[in-house]
Amino acid sequence: MTAGGFDGVERRGLMFVLSSPSGAGKTTLSRMLLEREPGLKMSVSATTRAMRPGEVEGRDYFFVDKPKFEKMVDQGELLEWATVFDNLYGTPRAPVEAALSAGQDVLFDIDWQGTQQLHQKASVDVVRVFILPPSAADLEKRLHTRAQDSDEVIRGRMSRATHELSHWAEYDYIVVNQNVDDAFAEVQSILKAERLKRERRTGLTEFVRKLQRQLEK
């Protein structure tokens, strides 16, 4: 244990969800969190899509065929799942449960539908953060700056953003990403505060009882 013992109290891990419209900065913030926050790892999804060059089984995805994926759904082995461009994606329950029990936090980069499913199945462990752009013009500028998509694709992303934004009130925290460093500081503060919540600190009851016994001597 650390000085005084208090900081060493055991803790159950949490599921930290970042969602945002495409281009609002979710991927950048996720990468910064993984680089700078010990004890946080990315959730690895199962998918029916083919493995791409450079991808590694178990690191990027768990690659399964459609019958296997459907069996996982039927047997309740997925915390959330969705169909994206004719492929199935989902979060296997077992690795996440193992991580949480070991006090490890798991980062999720999922949309509002996946977040709803996750919250329905494990609400006490889920922290939901929605990232907003400072303006529609800024979002469109960022999408163009990435130079990854055609104008038609960008218009489609802007249209979807309107629908995604309608679910903002379903999240626990809202962060406006006007400056990425400021937004990261806010997201990091949320994670740190949630880690300290009394109900997550599984060893706290015994720690307090021990303290009480010491005081009674």
The reply, when asked if residue 67 is annotated as ligand binding, is no
The reply, when asked if residue 114 is annotated as ligand binding, is no
The reply, when asked if residue 23 is annotated as ligand binding, is yes
CB atoms within 10 A of CB 152: 8
The reply, when asked if residue 217 is annotated as ligand binding, is no
Residue 42's region, left for phi above 0, alpha for psi from -120 to 50, else beta, is beta
The reply, when asked if residue 26 is annotated as ligand binding, is yes
Q: Are 157 and 143 in contact (CB under 8 A)?
A: yes
The reply, when asked if residue 30 is annotated as ligand binding, is no
In whole angstroms, give the CA distance from residue 58 to residue 106: 15
CB atoms within 10 A of CB 68: 12
> In the block, which residue shows the tokens 């998918």?
47
DSSP one-letter string for 140-183? HHHHHHTT-S-HHHHHHHHHHHHHHHTTGGGSSEEEE-SSHHHH
Query: Which string of b and e fits 176-213 if b means at least 16 CB within 10 Å?
Result: ebeeeeebbebbeebbeebbeeeebbebeeebeeeeee
Q: Are 78 and 93 in contact (CB under 8 A)?
A: yes
| Three-class secondary structure of residue 210 per DSSP | helix
The reply, when asked if residue 94 is annotated as ligand binding, is no
The reply, when asked if residue 28 is annotated as ligand binding, is no
Q: Are 197 and 125 in contact (CB under 8 A)?
A: no
Q: Which residues are annotated as a binding site for ATP?
A: 20-27
Q: Which residues are annotated as a binding site?
A: 20-27
